[in-house]
A and B are shown apart, each in its own frame.
Chain A
Amino acid sequence: MNSFLFMVRRDLRLALRQSSDNVMVVMFFVLCAVLFPFGVGPELGILERISAGVIWVGALLASMLSLERLFQTDYEDGSLELMALTPAPLEILVLAKVAAHWLTTGLPLILASPLLAVLLNMDSDGYGVLLLALLLGTPTLSLIGAVGAALILGARRGGVLISLLVLPLYVPVLIFGVSAVDAAIGGFEYKAQLFILGGLLMGTLPLAPWGAAAALRQSLE
């Protein structure tokens, strides 16, 4: 447990001292959503209809963009080897890295999303559910992305590869995230979708660190 906290603290410290990386992810997210009204036209009805989907797709892409480098720098400077050689299980350290990553990128995305909801004229009934769904969904994205990030270590053009590996796995989160918001706006029951998002999180929480750690060990051989 202590190792977990030391690791989170180190990664947070690293992220704060290189904060431009995280700001860029949020900027990408915001710009992505801001571009849509230019593309599809300023009709409020259309924007309202697509708002939940746009925000979720933006969050998906932004999360993937930042995950590419989750293990890369540690791999390049040899820190990853040393992590694999500390007495703590590598799975725990992967989980710590994902947690730190989510705190520095996932959380800012969630905080920025109400602004985008306003820009896209989302019905105010959906705000609360959007936040809840993002809160349940973005950690899942980070966890799944960690497996992809671990698998691409050492590969050239890792960025393209990670999107091929990870985006298909993001689809369930996207479907239920969007449908929860749409249901809330339409006045329907939305708990089921949130439960499924929670279930996905519970499923990936033990599986993803395990898979990512196995991939990391492979890359160190």
Chain B
Amino acid sequence: MTNFSGHNLTCLRGERLVFKGLDFSIEAGDALVLIGPNGSGKSSLLRMLAGLLKPYGGDMTWDSESVGEEPEQHRGRLHYVGHHDCVKAVLTVEENLTFWARMHDKNVDAEAKVASALDTLSISHLADVPGRFLSAGQKRRANLARIMAADAPLWLLDEPITALDKESITKLERTMADHRQNGGMIVLSTHSEITLENPKILDLADFAIGFGEGFYDDDEEDLVF
């Protein structure tokens, strides 16, 4: 069974220690929900899992192979949804999504995949609308449709339901359930209620270094600044 885990992860932003000694482990079909107060490092952890941010300490493994050694392979198996919606103002929704689907998997039947992704989130009627005419919620839905338009086992979602209406949240929940059913994994951060079947919960507050203290602290002697 596919396993994705991190051991003893430490995150350093600027000169501030965000969290340290963080372990997690998920398997195919799992969902890991990151909770914790603002600034506790949820987004940093997600960026770290995506490979955008290098861990200051610790390592991550995918099926017991180190992620850091095969970054291109790792990028091919993940989808990341960050704070930005990456919808180009002058391209239509369909053009936006087709581009990303092809970039992710050049052999994908992009048109069909994009059409079905748009259908899943009920935004088929927006396919030919340029990005600049979309509302915040529509942009977010387009961005979420992007990750459905190319297959990848690992979904990293940073506050995915921001700006979404109730109906869309339900659809997203259903899609996430399907994704897990098919052996996918989801790591998401949230402040709001998302219904997921028996999720694993990771409270970043357990690992976060208290705000204002932590750096230059006595028990941080192993860290050199």
Name the contact of B82 in the complex, choosing from A14, A81, A83 (C-beta under 8 A): A81
Contact A81 B52 (CB under 8 A): yes
With a CB–CB cut-off of 8 A, which chain A residues contact B75?
A: 85-87
Nearest CB in chain B to that of A87: its residue: B76
Residues 55-106 (chain A) with a chain B CB within 8 angstroms: 76-79, 81-89
For A82, A84, A221, which residue has the most chain B Cβ atoms within 10 angstroms?
A: A82
Residues 6-45 (chain A) with a chain B CB within 8 angstroms: 6-7, 10, 13-14, 17-18
Contact A2 B106 (CB under 8 A): yes
Minimum distance in angstroms from A21 CB to a CB of chain B: 11
**B54 at interface, CB cutoff 8 A:** yes
**A220 at interface, CB cutoff 8 A:** yes
**A3 at interface, CB cutoff 8 A:** yes
Contact B51 A85 (CB under 8 A): yes
With a CB–CB cut-off of 8 A, which chain A residues contact B54?
A: 221
**B126 at interface, CB cutoff 8 A:** no
With a CB–CB cut-off of 8 A, which chain A residues contact B51?
A: 85
With a CB–CB cut-off of 8 A, which chain A residues contact B78?
A: 85
List the one stretch of B30-38, B84-92, B189-197 in contact with chain A.
B84-92
Name the contact of B88 in the complex, choosing from A77, A84, A220 (C-beta under 8 A): A77
Given A6-B102, A85-B50, A221-B53, the answer on whether A14 and B80 have CB atoms closer than 8 Å is: no
How would you classify the secondary structure of chain A's contact residues: helix, strand, loop or mixed?
Answer: helix
With a CB–CB cut-off of 8 A, which chain B residues contact A82?
A: 80, 86, 100, 103
Minimum distance in angstroms from A70 CB to a CB of chain B: 15
Count residues of A near B (Cβ-Cβ below 8 Å): 24
Given A6-B99, A6-B102, the answer on whether A87 and B72 have CB atoms closer than 8 Å is: yes
Contact A14 B86 (CB under 8 A): no
Contact A13 B85 (CB under 8 A): no
**Bound Cα distance from A221 to B106, whole angstroms:** 27
**Bound Cα distance from A210 to B217, whole angstroms:** 38
Contact B87 A77 (CB under 8 A): yes
With a CB–CB cut-off of 8 A, which chain B residues contact A220?
A: 52
Given A13-B91, A84-B52, A221-B54, the answer on whether A2 and B86 have CB atoms closer than 8 Å is: no
**Bound Cα distance from A78 to B96, whole angstroms:** 13
**Bound Cα distance from A3 to B50, whole angstroms:** 20
**Bound Cα distance from A76 to B89, whole angstroms:** 12
Contact B50 A14 (CB under 8 A): no
With a CB–CB cut-off of 8 A, which chain B residues contact A221?
A: 52-54
Contact B72 A89 (CB under 8 A): yes
**Bound Cα distance from A147 to B53, whole angstroms:** 21
**Bound Cα distance from A69 to B85, whole angstroms:** 19
Nearest CB in chain A to that of B107: its residue: A2
Contact A78 B106 (CB under 8 A): no
Nearest CB in chain B to that of A86: its residue: B103
Nearest CB in chain A to that of B130: its residue: A17
Contact B90 A18 (CB under 8 A): yes
Minimum distance in angstroms from B136 CB to a CB of chain A: 13
Contact A78 B85 (CB under 8 A): yes
For B80, B85, B102, which residue has the most chain A Cβ atoms within 10 angstroms?
A: B102
Contact B103 A78 (CB under 8 A): no
With a CB–CB cut-off of 8 A, which chain A residues contact B85?
A: 77-78
Given A17-B90, A88-B103, the answer on whether A78 and B72 have CB atoms closer than 8 Å is: no
Contact A85 B86 (CB under 8 A): no
**Bound Cα distance from A142 to B22, whole angstroms:** 43
Closest 8 CB pairs of A and B: A78-B84, A87-B76, A17-B90, A2-B106, A78-B86, A86-B103, A79-B86, A6-B102
Can you list 29 pairs linking A and B with CB atoms under 8 Å apart? Answer: A2-B102, A2-B106, A6-B102, A6-B103, A7-B103, A13-B95, A18-B90, A76-B84, A77-B84, A77-B86, A77-B88, A78-B82, A78-B83, A78-B86, A79-B86, A81-B52, A81-B82, A81-B86, A82-B80, A82-B86, A82-B100, A85-B50, A85-B51, A87-B72, A87-B75, A89-B72, A221-B52, A221-B53, A221-B54
* Chain A residues proximal to chain B, CB less than 8 Å: 2-3, 6-7, 10, 13-14, 17-18, 76-79, 81-89, 220-221
* Chain B residues proximal to chain A, CB less than 8 Å: 50-54, 72-73, 75-76, 78, 80, 82-88, 90-91, 95, 99-100, 102-104, 106
